[in-house]
Amino acid sequence: MAAGSAGSVPHGWKLGDKVSIRDGYGKGLLEVGRTHADVVALDADLAESTRSHWFAKEYPHRFYQMGISEQDMVVTAAGLAHMGKTPFASSFAIFLQRGWEQVRNCVARQKLNVKFCGSHGGLMTGQDGSSAHSLEDIGVFRTLPHMGVVAPCDAVEAASAVLAMYLRPGPAYMRSTRAAAPVLFDSDYEFQWGKGHVLQDGSDAAIIANGPQVQEALIAAKDLKAKGLSVRVIAMASVKPIDRTLIAKAGRETGYVVSAEDHFIHNGLGSAVAECLAGEGVAAKLWRVGVQDGFTQSGDPKDLYRHYGVDAQAIGQVVQGLRNNSLRAPLAPHDLPGYTPGSAPPA
């Protein structure tokens, strides 16, 4: 096992299977609970949706259903950590932010060993609408000192990342999603903090993505290959710590970097990539693909991805526009050359 790696988690999924990332969290939590008696789980009345109910069914005496009271859940988790337990607390990503002040002062400030999972993140929450589209959670948690942040791209990575969260001392946050996503990693994949993974090599540009955007990036790279462009695709689940070396290498070798995430463009993966490039003195052109500075509407996730310009077609157009110097900020989907956005989803 490589230094800093977590190990794989037995699950039975195969490459190409469509599995929800939240299922990876639930499977990982159950497996880490089986091998580590100090693990306890808490949920804020959404255990079936977050998949923590699998742990609750097998270990009811180590599970705490806190009801719709996220602040209480966070403080209770902090107390359990003080008693030597390793709590995993989950809720919808948007609801977990209700307890942000408690996360900051009761957990992060004391470097407590509490792990959080925000389920149903991003536009993938679809028809639940703007109030449920957590598009700032990565930024909210990334801001806090000592907080590890991970946004897995598939269920296999999520399951392994749960073990990595357990093994890493201090607080950590994982984002999971509801909709099924293709399995991209082999069964023996081991998530490592601070390490990205090159899924496809290329020399003309690099796309750095996490969450469901990794699949969109792979589709975009395939389409661009047919147009004569060789595009590197990097899966960057570990947002904090982030793989500065791999990002700098991609910038130096290709000269063009596009970040892609189901998140506001501010303070998420794109901001972290920009910080790395600037900090390493890499003179590469960067464009951040994400939801622009505005709230969203309800709709089918595929329609939302198209409408807000974060799907494979948009990513591909951004790569082309960045290379030919035709992009100008601020960017809306209709600004992309040749891009046909979907009709506006119903409010």
pLDDT of residue 315: 96
pLDDT of residue 8: 65
Secondary element (H or E) of residue 150: strand 148-150
User: 96-155: per-residue pLDDT in tens?
Assistant: 999 999 999 999 999 999 999 999 999 988 888 889 999 999 999 999 999 999 999 999
pLDDT of residue 328: 66
Q: What is the mean pLDDT of residues 209-234?
A: 97
pLDDT of residue 346: 40
| Per-residue confidence band for 2, with pLDDT thresholds at 50, 70 and 90 | very low
pTM (predicted TM-score)? 0.92
Task: Pick the range with the lowest mean pLDDT from 140-154, 290-304, 315-329, 330-344.
Answer: 330-344
3-class DSSP state for residue 58? Answer: helix
pLDDT of residue 325: 87
b/e code 139-165 from CB counts within 10 Å (16+ = b): bbbbebeebbbbbbbbbbbbbbbbbbb
| Per-residue confidence band for 24, with pLDDT thresholds at 50, 70 and 90 | very high
Secondary element (H or E) of residue 250: helix 244-254
b/e code 186-210 from CB counts within 10 Å (16+ = b): eeebbbbbebbbebbebebbbbbbb
Q: What is the mean pLDDT of residues 337-344?
A: 52
pLDDT of residue 1 exceeding 80: no
N- to C-terminal Cα distance for the chain? 49
Q: What is the mean pLDDT of residues 66-80?
A: 97
- In 21-70 the beta strands, taken as DSSP E runs, fall at 39-43, 63-65
Domain covering 197-335 in this structure, CATH number: 3.40.50.920
Q: For the chain, what are the domain ranges? A: 18-182, 197-335
Q: Which residues are catalytic?
A: 70
* CA distances in angstroms from 265 to 39, 189, 300, listed in the order given: 34, 29, 21
Closest to 144 in 3D by CA, of 103, 116, 174, 113: 103
Q: What is the mean pLDDT of residues 13-36?
A: 95
Mean pLDDT across the chain, nearest whole number?
Answer: 92
3-class DSSP state for residue 124? Answer: helix
> If you ran DSSP here, which 8-state letter would residue 121 be given?
B
Percent of the chain clearing pLDDT 70 (strictly above)? 91
> If you ran DSSP here, which 8-state letter would residue 273 be given?
H
The answer to whether domain 18-182 and domain 197-335 are alike in fold is: yes
Entry field: residues in the chain: 347
> Is CATH 3.90.1310.10 the right assignment for the domain spanning 18-182?
no
User: 269-290: per-residue pLDDT in tens?
Assistant: 999 999 999 999 999 999 999 9
